[in-house]
């Protein structure tokens, strides 16, 4: 058995799970998520928890076992609590602001960068260059944060750019430090 796949998932209050016709649907207080799953895995609901089982011992089926267990766990967490990624914008004159459904980034380029915020995500700009992205789908939150970070990745000399809140930038010594 897969170490990840055999762990049962507890279902919190207010979350409804439906798995039939190879479609896994999870509905909770924050919204609804669906994913199509492979017929090599099956889901068993018992005593307020769900277990993922696999049909055979093929290598691909073993991979699906852990994958769909984690996908289901992330879906349950998303519809009950939600996911958040925080980005820090560092640099003189670097800033972000929200204009309707657009995120406007001033990152030292000749013109501002306009990014459309997807319908299922919310973006908040706080003081000190803090940008918080929130949503129910872990993959969409992470992908949108990565797209924003890509506009100006942090550089190692002064640390300017956009970085994740928990990210540590290894600083380099410039030319003046080599004497």
User: What is the rounded average pLDDT for all residues in the chain?
Assistant: 93
Report pLDDT for 178.
65
pTM comes to: 0.90
Ramachandran area for residue 141 (φ above 0: left; ψ -120 to 50: alpha; else beta): alpha
| Alpha-carbon distance values, 25 to 2, 75, 110, 177 (Å) | 23, 9, 45, 57
CB 85 within 8 A of CB 139: no
| pLDDT tens track for 82-133 | 999 999 999 999 999 999 999 999 999 999 999 999 999 999 999 989 999 9
CA–CA distance, 162 with 178 (Å, rounded to integer):
27
| pLDDT tens track for 126-160 | 998 999 999 999 999 999 999 999 999 999 999 89
| Alpha-carbon distance values, 138 to 83, 107, 176 (Å) | 6, 26, 43
Domains of the chain: 9-80 (3.90.930.12), 83-164 (3.90.930.12)
For 128, phi then psi, to 5°, come to 85, 15
Sign of CA dihedral 29, 101, 127, 85: positive
Report pLDDT for 179.
60
pLDDT average, residue stretch 40-45: 92
């Amino acid at each position: 058995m897969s170490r990840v796949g055999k762990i049962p998932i507890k279902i919190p209050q207010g979350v409804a799970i439906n798995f039939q016709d190879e479609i896994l649907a999870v509905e909770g207080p924050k919204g609804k998520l669906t994913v199509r799953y492979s017929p090599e895995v099956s889901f068993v609901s018992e005593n307020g928890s769900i277990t993922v089982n696999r049909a055979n011992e093929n290598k691909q089926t073993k991979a699906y076992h852990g994958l769909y267990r984690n996908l289901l766990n992330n879906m349950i967490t998303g519809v009950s609590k939600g996911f958040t990624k925080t980005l820090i914008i560092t640099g003189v004159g670097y800033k972000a602001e929200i204009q309707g459904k657009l995120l406007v980034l001033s990152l030292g380029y000749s013109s501002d960068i306009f990014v459309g915020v997807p319908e299922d995500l919310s973006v908040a700009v706080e003081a000190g260059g803090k940008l918080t992205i929130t949503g129910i789908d872990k993959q969409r939150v992470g992908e949108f944060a990565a797209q924003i970070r890509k506009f100006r990745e942090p550089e190692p000399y002064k640390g300017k750019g956009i970085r994740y809140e928990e990210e540590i930038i290894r600083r380099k010594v410039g030319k003046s430090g080599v004497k």
